[in-house]
Amino acid sequence: MDGVRLPRVRLAAVPEDALLVVRGDELLAEILERDARRFRRRFNEWGRYGVSGFLAVDDREVDALCETRLVLFATVVVFGRTDLTAKGIEVVPTFRRPHVTLAHVELDALVSGVQSCEHRQLENPYFEGRSS
């Protein structure tokens, strides 16, 4: 198995009743596709396309993620975990908590599923805009 690259999947599953998965962008197809293709190139042996997100259990944790992990994004997108699953998207606990990967074996299904999933788009009050 030398040279096989797989994402680090945590043993603790994402609970079915988890409330929110947060992603920091405006769900543009080209961004989702680029991220998903990069993930697939890096972890091809896993057999899935993936985009990063963060698990939060309530709006207080969403706020904390905005302040710490998502300061480079003017807006954040909040999904219900069960809404993503209903679209056929796996929510896999990867790397370090609270990171998750939104995954699917087909690129188009991942992108369209994420884009069509019910969500809230919020302004990030901690956004640190890039100066030119």
Q: What Å distances lie between residue 30 and 14, 25, 27, 34, CA to CA?
A: 27, 11, 9, 6
Which pLDDT belongs to residue 132?
39
pLDDT per 10-residue tile (average), the chain, 132 residues? 77 76 88 96 96 92 94 94 95 93 97 96 88 41
Quote the radius of gyration of the chain (alpha carbons, Å): 14
0.85 cut: is pTM over it?
Answer: yes
